[in-house]
Amino acid sequence: MDTDRTPVALGAGEGEALWCVGALTTVKAAGGQTAGAYALIEDLAPKGAGTPLHRHRGDDEAFYVLEGELTFWLGDAEPIRAAAGAFVHVPGGTVHAFRVDSETARYLIITTPRHGDFYRAIADPAQTRTIPPEAPMDEARIGAACAAYGIEGVGPPPGDGA
């Protein structure tokens, strides 16, 4: 494990920029920069962006909504509406999904370095620091990354239900 404890300071718009399944993903801190403690990602995503129901048993994940509104599904609980200022923690192994409900949303994802590497595995370098143009998902690439990083698909994206 990397033990680099060098301080890092990034401004707005700084960090590794990726286009990740319809979102602009900015890696603010990767595991190598935090001596393996965590990864911090900032996403800017358009309305309707989100995930199918899934779980990653070994990786906790937390979301802090900076702008916009999302809906989260966690286990068997009722859907959770999360607006700017909301925090949602997803313990490893919890079946979950989310969807962007506002025109755009900006949120932080705090997770394990391994889960941060998953985001990189399904993304491409961003051509600009904007939401990427619509493109079909590369199901084979995503499936291979899920297998490699311990992510289990459980079901399709939840319906409206909120």
Which pair of structure tokens corresponds to residue 106? 């900006």
**What is the spatial order of strands in the sheet that 96-100 belongs to?**
80-83, 69-74, 96-100, 53-56, 151-155
Give the integer Cα–Cα distance in Å for 138 and 123: 10
Q: What is the full per-residue pLDDT of the chain (162 aa) written as tens digits?
A: 456 677 889 999 999 999 999 999 999 999 989 999 999 999 999 999 999 999 999 999 999 999 999 999 999 999 999 999 999 999 999 999 999 999 999 999 999 999 999 999 999 999 999 999 999 989 999 999 999 999 999 999 887 544
Contacts of residue 143, Cβ cutoff 8 Å, sequence gap at least 6? none
- Give the chain's domains with CATH numbers: 16-155 (2.60.120.10)
Q: What's the pTM value of the predicted model, to 2 decimals?
A: 0.92
